[in-house]
Amino acid sequence: MTSLEQAKAIVKVMDSKKAKDIKLVEIKELSSLGDYFVIASASNTTQVKAIADEVEDEMTKLGIEPNRVEGRQSAQWILLDYYDVMVHIFLEESRNFYNLERLWSDAPQVDISELLTKN
């Protein structure tokens, strides 16, 4: 599975858990951190944790385990590090504060519209 395929699979999982404002950002030409960021928001800490749990469960089914997980305790911002794909799940207020999209504004966004449910 390529890093793009993995990132798209994560987008689908997040969408199924009603994550908000999902973005897929390609960082591979700009950083050695990885190839992609998947960024999404949730309305409350319970939903942040639920999205993170579902991503972990579904990736485990594919034989993919995270390198590390950060932020689960506070659930304001959970980071799932899958080496080439970094998953950021934010509480809405935290996402607005950290504004990763602005920090990585030079990175192209991948069109994921075909992966999202039409709600």
Amino acid found at 42: A
- Give me the residue spans of the domains in the chain: 3-98
Give the per-residue pLDDT at 114. Answer: 93
**Mind listing the pLDDT tens digit for each residue in 43-101?**
999 999 999 999 999 999 999 999 999 999 989 999 999 999 999 999 999 999 989 88
CA distance readout (Å), 41 to 2, 8, 46, 95, 109: 25, 16, 12, 7, 16
Mean pLDDT over the full length of the chain: 94
CA distance readout (Å), 30 to 40, 48, 86: 21, 28, 14
pLDDT(118) > 80: no
Give the per-residue pLDDT at 119. Answer: 56
pLDDT(109) > 80: yes
pTM for this one? Answer: 0.92
Instruction: Say which CATH topology domain 3-98 has.
Output: Beta Polymerase; domain 2 (3.30.460)
pLDDT(102) > 80: yes
Q: Is 39 in contact with 32 (CB distance < 8 Å)?
A: no
Q: Is 91 in contact with 50 (CB distance < 8 Å)?
A: no
Pairing of strands 36-42, 85-91: parallel
